[in-house]
Structure 1
């Protein structure tokens, strides 16, 4: 489904809508995913891209250890996790500012009600990098009783060739599925879930500055970046409803829109799928 607010080529099969239209909430309720074009300007995207590229060239202190071999391209460009917790750094200030940016925060509020910020991430995904097997974010965040929502910001133009997300519309109506081992030749994480019966994947097509919002139970992942010279960088945020009563400890402290820290009960155990490594969502 697309709307008259579309600009250029965007993802077929999901709602593409401006923030002001009723299609936004209707599309999210129907598919669990909506795409908002041009939410960030070209100048903003260029600033974010340059800051994170400068940081990764000299410092990996924000990186999570994904256990990739030293000769893997992802060892040089590891994903950064929770940069918003380092506002003393340029990348941290940018992450915190955009986590709470009224344009993004306002859409999240429209879709799930008053939210709290739970996570920031930056993926570099250079040419040759493996993708990430299909998964569901709330398997890891374990927000309860409601789920999380992602705001996935394209920092480069995105398509199949450079490893853009594949997403399964309608899978937000399914239960969390316990992951099985993934093909490590295709995925840098060793966990995958199957596409639910009767549903199918849709390949995203995004322009830099577009934002994809999707429900924590939506099945999604990506293939390898098979392009010769195109990164697929993305800045990703996760939010949970302010009414949530627990979340996995990895995501504390949560961030209130007034920038103060918020703590709720810690989800105990491994959730519905046993013991899983926190912080592995994307």
Structure 2
């Protein structure tokens, strides 16, 4: 029986199920993107325990060290910031996710990536390797706060890997990736850039292989607000991602998934996605 869609089209749902990802244009208005941008740029000027720890002495000037020391990624800002919570649970995003999950969505994680000029990218990986959602998998909603293209290091996706099992990663090239895990592109497939304008959202399956190259520009950030979600039928999730939140802001606390995953405990040392 076909589930009746409430927000996206049948063609969009088919795209998501076949390729593992879907770009939805203009999910957020310019005014909403401005609010997100100004909120996180303001937060970037302070140390927020458990969420964000910039080295405020670092400079973005070319050749003066790692720009990610000044602008590292922000983890779980919804736990300390109302604007982050507001947009993680944005009704339009939650409705799209309900169509993709075929059930109501629960928010598991929020992140903000600044990706300043010259910053390294993130090696190819799979999100559910870290979130450990059971049954099924998670879905990411990757919002372009700045226009994202190949020059400033937009996301790369490997279509049709959404139905693959989780791969055991190899060690990433630290010169190009700020994270340590790397998943090879399966034979016969290739990574493709997802080009987004401000306010567009890329939704993708938690088993989809994805990552990014460095920001090659000298004067453009590639800021993005990224959230991960599970379906309401989720019974287990990694402890770092609990509690989950319904669209109305109420908490849900599924069983903590203590399984070390398909590759053993040695891989749990990676900082949570």
Identify whether the pair has TM-score above 0.5, normalized to the shorter chain.
yes
Q: Describe how 1:19-98 pairs up with structure 2 within 5 A.
A: 19-61=7-49, 63=51, 71-86=65-80, 92-98=81-87
Q: Describe how 1:1-282 pairs up with structure 2 within 5 A.
A: 19-61=7-49, 63=51, 71-86=65-80, 92-112=81-101, 113-275=103-265, 276-277=268-269, 280-281=272-273
Equivalent-residue separation in structure 1 for 2:68 and 2:48 (angstroms): 11
**Residues 45 and 169 of structure 1: CA distance in aligned 2, closer, same or farther (over 3 Å):** same
**Residues 133 and 278 of structure 1: CA distance in aligned 2, closer, same or farther (over 3 Å):** closer
1:27 match: secondary structure: helix
1:156 match: secondary structure: coil
Residues 133 and 236, structure 2, Cα contact 8 Å, conserved in 1: yes
Question: How far 1:66 sits from its partner (Å)?
Answer: 11
* TM-score, length-scaled by structure 2: 0.90
CA RMSD of aligned residues (A): 1.9
Moved more, 199-208 or 180-189: 199-208
Equivalent-residue separation in structure 2 for 1:185 and 1:111 (angstroms): 36
Residues 66 and 189, structure 1, Cα contact 8 Å, conserved in 2: no
Question: How far 1:101 sits from its partner (Å)?
Answer: 1.1
Structure 1 unaligned blocks of 5 or more: 1-17, 87-91
* TM-score, length-scaled by structure 1: 0.87
Between Structure 1 and Structure 2, how many residues are aligned? 257
Equivalent-residue separation in structure 2 for 1:121 and 1:239 (angstroms): 12
Question: How far 1:279 sits from its partner (Å)?
Answer: 5.3
